[in-house]
Amino acid sequence: MSAHAIVLLGPPASGKGTQGRLLAAAEGLSYFSSGRQLRREVRAGSQLGKSAEPYLEAGRYVPDELALGLVKGWISERHRGWILDGFPRTLPQAVELDRVLDSRQEELRALLIEGPVEELERRVADRRECRECSWTGTRAEVEGAQGICPSCGGMVEQRPDDDMENFRQRFKVFEELTLPVASYYKQSKRLLRVWGVGSPEEVFRRVQSEFV
Ligand SMILES: [Zn+2]
């Protein structure tokens, strides 16, 4: 694979987080999840976390400048390739990311993972994640272990923003704000599209074939 700067695009519960982690592991890239990073900041009680908390509680995305601050700091500390999940979410964020990358922006590829809304809603209801490590999975995978992470033994929970009302709100925001981001990358011939229905392994084979 030649791309070492990848941004993931997709509606909530499209599986882009799972695909991003699989791709990062396969290609030796650093992985950034803006949602996870923000929740970490909130738990740590940092200034950034305090600013972000009201938005997260309301199931809304944080303002551009807050998201930018988070990702710029992270990128500046990476000396190899990376994958961004949850950024850029808006056109101004995408334009600003290109500005930060400068001449390297030509190497960037945006990967859009798509799926029907009924399938996404079903996934939201089932999704669980570990508070301690990067493990994510479904309700069925942790049921027998009473909410214990199969990977590290930490506490597994439903993501605070995973209720149906929040999902529908975020889906609407995705259509309004993030689809223009996909168009932006399409215009500059940097957009790859993958159909996200199927097992994570099936979808990942499609992802990998896009990078050959
Ligand atoms: Zn864990």
Token look-up 């097992």 returns: 199
The residues of the chain scoring below 70 in pLDDT are 1-3, 143-145
Per-residue confidence (pLDDT) for residue 36, from 0 to 100 = 85
Output the six-digit token pair for 122.
């079903």
Q: What confidence score (pLDDT) does residue 28 get?
A: 93
d(CA 18, CA 172): 22
Percent of the chain with pLDDT over 70: 97
Distances (CA, A) of 10 to 32, 34, 69, 88, 175: 15, 14, 22, 11, 10
pTM for the predicted model, two decimal places: 0.81
Q: How far is the CA of 123 from the centre of ligand 1 (A)?
A: 20
Question: How many Å is the Cα radius of gyration of the chain?
Answer: 16
**169 close to 179: Cβ distance less than 8 angstroms:** no
| Residue count (the chain) | 212
pLDDT at 84: 96
CA of 149 to the centre of ligand 1 (A): 5
Q: Find out whether 178 and 64 touch, Cβ atoms under 8 Å.
A: no
Residue 131 Cα, ligand 1 centroid: separation in angstroms?
Answer: 7
The CA 99 to ligand 1 mean position distance, Å, reads 36
- 35 Cα: distance to centroid of ligand 1 (angstroms): 17
Question: How far does the centroid of ligand 1 lie from the alpha carbon of residue 129, in Å?
Answer: 8
- Find the helix or strand (DSSP H, E) in which 26 lies: helix 16-27
Strand 5-9, strand 156-157: pairing: unpaired
HSE-CB at 158 with a 13 A cutoff on CA atoms is 14
Render pLDDT for 55-65 as a digit per residue (tens, 0 to 9): 988 877 899 99
pLDDT value of residue 57: 86
pLDDT at 190: 97
Q: Which fold, 5-115+164-210? A: Rossmann fold (3.40.50)
Q: In what order do the strands lie in the sheet with 127-130?
A: 136-138, 127-130, 156-157
Q: What is the pLDDT of residue 143?
A: 67
